[in-house]
Each structure stands twice: as structure tokens, then as C-alpha cells.
Amino acid sequence: MCEATVFVSKGKDLEKVMEDVVELRREGDKLLLVDVFGEQRIISAKVGEVQLMDHRIVLREG
């Protein structure tokens, strides 16, 4: 399976936002995250990095 863990970069640290994410979609200036269970989360951020082999997506706030 190809779920990813989504982090937000805070300076040099990564803060975990959501696990098992299967969908990420821009909604205006926010991002909608959806996990494998259908749980949703909206976050004010931009996509900084998508590492598909590492199952990792890093967002940048703002």
C-alpha cells in the first residue's frame, strides 16, 4: 500500500500531522488531507516535499 505519513516542517524539526494519508488536495489556500479510514484534516500549508518511496509528505506552513 502507498499511504504516506504527513509532516509539517517547523524550523529544522518535523511535526507529524497525520498517518496513513491516501489523498491530499488543495482547497483554496489550505490543504485537505484524507487518511485510509476517511478521516479528514484541513491544514493551512503548502506541499514542500513528496517522497513516495519513503511514504513521506512534508508540508510547509502558511
DSSP string, 4-56: EEEEEEETTEEEEEEEEEEEEEEETTEEEEEETT--EEEESEEEEEEETTTTE
57 forms part of the interface with a copy of itself (CB under 8 A): yes
Task: Tell me which of 10, 44, 48, 61 binds a copy of itself, using CB under 8 A.
Answer: 48
Task: Tell me which of 19, 23, 39, 61 binds a copy of itself, using CB under 8 A.
Answer: 23
Task: Tell me which of 5, 14, 24, 43 binds a copy of itself, using CB under 8 A.
Answer: 24
* Contact set with a copy of itself (CB under 8 A): 1-4, 21-26, 46-53, 55, 57, 60
